């Protein structure tokens, strides 16, 4: 391998070895930095550009965080020194940074020899930060340390730090806060949750720490801290506040739930739920502390609100409930303040049971304050006549201490409407509640107390579900009212079984007769009566298994209003048999040679517009004799069954009109012989003879006649029809 190759390899390996510690180049964001067109920060390189270009930190420049940014890579920047804070002791940040509600996660600052460290190192009087969230940050430095800022002279609002850690190394003075180090500006509507710690300090180092900030000479309002602060000092004071280490400014409408652990070997351990020292002109109002405090020093001064209060300081309309525990040769422990050097206490309270303290201060001048109350009394509105429970505070009676309204989301609790089918059982309780917000959660506490007309309701109808008895926590919901729900007890759907349709004989209608029927799925003991309905065949004609439709069935009885008949009986069938009738033929006759008459009959009457079709017929034959009259094609249709009774039809020869008794020989003259007319008439007279024609007198009567005569000496009888 040549020397050139070795050099290249060494350079390559060196690049690999330092790749993880390399700091990337910043990238300028889009935008002009104006109010109308702010710099739009949407990447980690954009943040790097901002942190390393102090020319854009000046007043008038505006920045907007456009998206959540993962800053985990910052732990490898600058030879593991991490992120470079925005603003330093030479040039403070004086611009406007809009966090836009976005989150920067995993930020690392590792600069143990430097002061004023945080995402913003120093914020000037013109500087403004709003709606910024930092999560999971780690800041290590010397003094004036915080996650969001090291030193603030400007305005911070609606900004949050969560799950973050701030740690201080050896120094002459340690000043750390989870949100920030030193505040002389204004902080509002902000909070911090995380850990601040200063341990392993050199002997003689003064340690000041707060759950929110270390020092405050500005204003802090509507803010809170939740987390832990741990400080260990040797041969100098350790001063720890749940929110603020040293306070000479104004604190209002705030609370702390931090756990404080303070150790000061050979010196004072000073701790307070809100501040370690409420210094001259320090003002605390409408605030409370609820976290436990443990101090272990040669001497201890610990109070539920302040460790030490100085003259001209004040604490007003505030309370403490956190447990106070101290170990040391000298302990100044009080429910409100450990050591009172003066100042004003007005409308202040502490829980004597949870703090473990019967006195308001451990040591001090003047008489003890009278605000010590039992836990039960601390959860009763009547105990706090000096607090504004209408506009600032509220209490869920018997469930909570006074809560600050600013941190709660107003909601109206509404009983959820409930629907049940009548089952004969009395209704009790309810179906839960919901609020006027998007979704309720575990911050709603307690068991709903249901009342109203719904309780014990049994019968079908609508009833009122009233509810109360719920409560919430400090960061939960402000229940401004309760709204009723409605219990709908709907009628119980039942059916009918056992209904049958009866067969019938054809009657020309679709009417059907129904029998039987019992209710199905009723509640035992209810008084119900089945009102019978009517039935109709699908048509009037005779047939078998004909469909029958039922209607008109209903429910009566004392409990009828609790039921609904879900369906009329179905699946019914019955037969319509043909109606029996008798047709009797009339006896009839004719004379040979005549046309058959229309055969007539008598018959049972048919229904409505029904009629016979077809005709009667007879046996064939045209000679004289008796013939049967047959049914022939006569029919009343399939709806009738005919029983036919026949009759006779007679064919007869016509009667003999002339039966010559004397038969003289024809002489060509008119005969004067008397002829005897067979039948009903005897006639005599002269027969006028005309060739080819015989005329009988009219006196023989009208009708058709057969004239029999013997011609001459012939024996032949001539039958002749005459008119």
Q: Does pLDDT of 596 surpass 60?
A: yes
592-597: long-range pairs with CB below 8 Å, 24+: 592/622, 592/623, 592/624, 592/651, 592/652, 592/653, 592/654, 593/654, 596/649
How long, in residues, is the chain?
Answer: 723
Residues 6+ apart with CB under 8 A from 41: 29, 47, 50, 63, 64, 65, 66, 69
Per-residue pLDDT, 639: 97
Neighbouring-strand partners of residue 300: 269, 331
Interval 371-375 mean pLDDT: 96
- Compute φ and ψ for 429, nearest 5 degrees: 70, -140
Per-residue pLDDT, 689: 42
Q: Which range, of 151-160, 236-245, 361-370, 477-486, averages the lowest pLDDT?
A: 361-370
* Two tokens, residue 184: 């002389």
How many CB atoms are located within 10 Å of the residue 121 CB? 30
SS3 per residue for 647-667: EEEEEECCCEEEECCCCCCCC
Per-residue pLDDT, 200: 66
**Do β-strands 588-591 and 514-515 pair in parallel, antiparallel, or remain unpaired?**
unpaired
Interval 50-70 mean pLDDT: 97
Instruction: Lay out the sheet containing 504-505: strands in order across.
Output: 504-505, 572-577, 543-551, 534-537, 511-512
Distance from C-alpha of 309 to C-alpha of 301, rounded to nearest angstrom: 10
Per-residue pLDDT, 680: 36
How many CB atoms are located within 10 Å of the residue 159 CB? 25
Find the helix or strand (DSSP H, E) in which 50 lies: helix 44-51
With contact defined as beta carbons under 8 Å apart, do 119 and 104 qualify?
yes
DSSP 55: G
Q: Does pLDDT of 66 surpass 80?
A: yes
pTM: 0.74
Q: Does pLDDT of 386 surpass 60?
A: yes
In whole numbers, what is the pLDDT of the chain averaged over residues?
Answer: 88
DSSP 205: -
**What is the band of 9 on the pLDDT scale with cuts at 50, 70, 90?**
very low
Q: Which range, of 413-417, 460-464, 713-717, averages the lowest pLDDT?
A: 713-717
DSSP 491: P
Per-residue pLDDT, 438: 52
In terms of pLDDT, which residue wins out, 21 or 632?
A: 632
Query: Tokens 């049940």 belong to which residue?
Result: 420
Which of these, 220, 217, 219, 211, lies nearest to 239 by C-alpha position? 211
With contact defined as beta carbons under 8 Å apart, do 166 and 176 qualify?
yes
CA distances from 169 to 110, 241, 260, 612 (A): 11, 19, 19, 123
Decide: helix, strand or coil at residue 519.
Answer: strand
Distance from C-alpha of 94 to C-alpha of 106, rounded to nearest angstrom: 25
Interval 272-300 mean pLDDT: 97
Q: Does pLDDT of 674 surpass 50?
A: no
Distance from C-alpha of 190 to C-alpha of 157, rounded to nearest angstrom: 6
Distance from C-alpha of 337 to C-alpha of 277, rounded to nearest angstrom: 10
CATH among 3.10.430, 3.30.70, 3.50.50, 3.40.50 for 408-490: 3.10.430
Per-residue pLDDT, 256: 98
547-554: long-range pairs with CB below 8 Å, 24+: 547/572, 547/573, 548/501, 548/512, 548/514, 548/572, 548/573, 548/574, 550/499, 550/501, 550/514, 553/496, 553/499, 553/517
The percentage of the chain sitting over the pLDDT mark of 90, rounded to a whole number, equals: 76
Per-residue pLDDT, 174: 80
**What is the band of 2 on the pLDDT scale with cuts at 50, 70, 90?**
very low
The CA-to-CA distance between both ends of the chain, in Å, stands at: 162
DSSP 192: E
DSSP 593: T
Q: Does pLDDT of 146 surpass 70?
A: yes
Interval 690-705 mean pLDDT: 47
Interval 607-620 mean pLDDT: 96
Instruction: Lay out the sheet containing 461-468: strands in order across.
Output: 418-421, 485-490, 461-468, 449-451
Per-residue pLDDT, 104: 98
Per-residue pLDDT, 206: 82
Domains in the chain: boundaries:
26-87+96-112+123-141+152-169, 173-181+198-407, 408-490, 492-577, 579-652, 668-722
Per-residue pLDDT, 21: 54
Q: Does pLDDT of 592 surpass 60?
A: yes
SS3 per residue for 1-40: CCHHHHHHHHHHHHHHHHHCCCCCCCCCCECCCCCCCCEE
Q: Which range, of 16-25, 296-305, 543-552, 654-663, averages the lowest pLDDT?
A: 654-663
In terms of pLDDT, which residue wins out, 398 or 432?
A: 398
Instruction: Please list, residue by residue across 371-400, b when 16 or more beta carbons sit within 10 angstroms of its beta carbon and e when fewer do.
Output: bbbeeeebbeeebbeebeeeebbbbbeeeb
**What is the band of 55 on the pLDDT scale with cuts at 50, 70, 90?**
very high
Per-residue pLDDT, 114: 92
Q: Does pLDDT of 240 surpass 80?
A: yes
**What is the band of 677 on the pLDDT scale with cuts at 50, 70, 90?**
very low
**Do β-strands 103-105 and 69-70 pair in parallel, antiparallel, or remain unpaired?**
parallel
Q: Does pLDDT of 16 surpass 80?
A: no
Distance from C-alpha of 641 to C-alpha of 577, rounded to nearest angstrom: 9
- Compute φ and ψ for 700, nearest 5 degrees: -80, -10
Distance from C-alpha of 190 to C-alpha of 212, rounded to nearest angstrom: 9
Burial of 631 (0-12, 13-18, 19+ CB in 10 A): middle
Per-residue pLDDT, 22: 64
What pLDDT, in 10s, does the model give residues 527-547?
999 999 999 999 999 999 999
Q: Which range, of 119-128, 357-366, 377-386, 605-614, averages the lowest pLDDT?
A: 357-366
With contact defined as beta carbons under 8 Å apart, do 147 and 134 qualify?
yes
Distance from C-alpha of 288 to C-alpha of 378, rounded to nearest angstrom: 13
Decide: helix, strand or coil at residue 47.
Answer: helix
How many CB atoms are located within 10 Å of the residue 29 CB? 21
Which of these, 169, 172, 164, lies nearest to 195 by C-alpha position? 164
Distance from C-alpha of 705 to C-alpha of 697, rounded to nearest angstrom: 13
CA distances from 440 to 315, 412, 449 (A): 36, 11, 17
* Two tokens, residue 289: 């502390």
Per-residue pLDDT, 707: 52
CA distances from 366 to 271, 299, 633 (A): 21, 22, 133
Q: How many CA atoms lie within 13 A of 38 on its CB side?
A: 21
Q: Does pLDDT of 666 surpass 80?
A: no
Instruction: Please list, residue by residue across 604-619, b when 16 or more beta carbons sit within 10 angstroms of its beta carbon and e when fewer do.
Output: eebeeeeebeeebbbe
CA distances from 591 to 600, 630, 694, 721 (A): 18, 19, 23, 13
Q: Does pLDDT of 366 surpass 90?
A: no
Distance from C-alpha of 431 to C-alpha of 174, rounded to nearest angstrom: 56
Q: Does pLDDT of 492 surpass 90?
A: yes
- Compute φ and ψ for 213, nearest 5 degrees: -135, 160
């Amino acid at each position: 391998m040549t020397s050139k190759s070795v050099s290249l390899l060494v350079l390559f390996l060196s690049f690999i070895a330092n790749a993880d510690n390399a700091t990337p180049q910043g990238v300028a964001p889009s935008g002009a930095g104006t109010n109308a067109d702010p710099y739009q920060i949407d990447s980690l390189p954009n943040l790097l550009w901002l942190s390393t270009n102090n020319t854009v930190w000046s007043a008038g420049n505006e920045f907007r965080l456009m998206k959540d940014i993962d800053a985990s890579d910052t732990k490898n920047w600058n030879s593991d020194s991490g992120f470079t804070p925005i603003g330093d002791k030479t040039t403070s940040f004086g611009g406007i940074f809009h966090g836009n509600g976005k989150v920067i996660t995993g930020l690392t600052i590792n600069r143990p020899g430097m002061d004023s460290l945080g995402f913003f190192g120093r914020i000037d009087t013109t500087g403004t930060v709003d709606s910024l969230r930092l999560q999971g940050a780690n800041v290590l430095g010397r003094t004036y340390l915080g996650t969001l800022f090291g030193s603030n002279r400007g305005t911070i609002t609606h900004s949050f730090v969560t799950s973050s850690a701030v740690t201080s190394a050896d120094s002459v003075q340690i000043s750390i806060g989870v949100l920030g180090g030193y505040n002389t500006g204004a902080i509002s509507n902000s909070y911090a949750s995380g850990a601040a710690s200063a341990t392993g300090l050199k002997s003689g180092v003064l340690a000041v720490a707060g759950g929110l900030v270390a020092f405050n000479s500005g204003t802090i309002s509507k803010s809170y801290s939740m987390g832990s602060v741990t400080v260990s000092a040797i041969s100098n004071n350790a001063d720890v506040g749940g929110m603020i280490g040293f306070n000479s400014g104004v604190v209002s409408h705030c609370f702390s739930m931090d756990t404080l652990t303070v150790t000061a070997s050979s010196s004072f351990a000073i701790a307070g739920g809100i501040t370690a020292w409420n210094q001259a002109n320090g003002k605390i109002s409408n605030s409370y502390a609820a976290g436990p405090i443990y101090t272990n020093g040669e001497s201890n001064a610990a109070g539920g609100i302040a460790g030490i209060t100085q003259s001209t300081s004040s604490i007003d309309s505030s309370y403490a409930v956190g447990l106070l525990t101290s170990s040391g040769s000298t302990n100044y422990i009080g429910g409100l303040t450990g050591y009172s050097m003066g100042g004003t206490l007005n409308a202040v309270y502490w829980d004597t049971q949870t703090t473990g303290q019967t006195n308001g201060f451990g040591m001090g001048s003047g008489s003890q304050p009278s605000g010590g109350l039992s836990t039960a009394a601390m959860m009763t509105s009547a105990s706090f006549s000096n607090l504004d429970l209408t506009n600032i505070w509220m209490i869920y009676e018997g469930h909570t201490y006074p809560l600050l309204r600013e941190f709660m989301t107003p909601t109206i609790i509404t009983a959820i409407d409930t629907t049940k089918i009548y089952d004969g059982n009395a209704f009790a309780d309810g179906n839960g509640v919901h609020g006027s917000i998007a979704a309720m959660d575990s911050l709603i506490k307690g068991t709903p107390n249901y009342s109203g007309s719904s309780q014990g309701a049994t019968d079908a109808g609508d009833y009122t579900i009233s509810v109360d008895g719920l409560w919430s926590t400090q960061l939960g919901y402000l229940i401004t009212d309760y709204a009723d729900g409605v219990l709908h007890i709907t009628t119980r759907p039942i059916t009918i079984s056992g209904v049958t349709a009866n067969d019938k004989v054809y009657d020309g209608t679709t009417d059907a007769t129904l029998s039987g029927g019992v209710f199905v799925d009723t509640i035992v003991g209810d008084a119900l009566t089945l009102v019978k309905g009517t039935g109709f065949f699908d048509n009037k004609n005779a047939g078998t298994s004909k469909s029958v439709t039922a209607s008109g069935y209903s429910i009566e009885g004392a409990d009828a209003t609790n039921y609904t008949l879900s369906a009329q009986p179905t699946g019914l069938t019955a037969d319509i048999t043909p109606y029996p009738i008798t047709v009797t033929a009339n006896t009839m006759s004719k004379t040979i040679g005549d046309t058959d008459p229309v055969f007539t009959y008598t018959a049972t009457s048919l229904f409505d517009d029904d009629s016979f079709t077809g005709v009667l017929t007879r046996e064939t034959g045209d000679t004289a004799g008796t013939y049967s009259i047959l049914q022939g094609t006569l029919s009343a249709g399939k709806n009738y069954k005919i029983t036919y009774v026949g009759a006779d039809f007679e064919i007869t020869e016509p009667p003999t009109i002339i039966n010559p008794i004397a038969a003289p020989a024809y002489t060509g003259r008119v005969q004067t012989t008397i002829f005897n007319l067979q039948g009903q008439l005897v006639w005599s007279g002269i027969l006028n003879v005309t060739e080819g024609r015989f005329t009988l007198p009219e006196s023989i009567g009208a009708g058709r006649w057969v004239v029999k005569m013997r011609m001459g000496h012939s024996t032949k009888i001539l039958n002749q029809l005459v008119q």
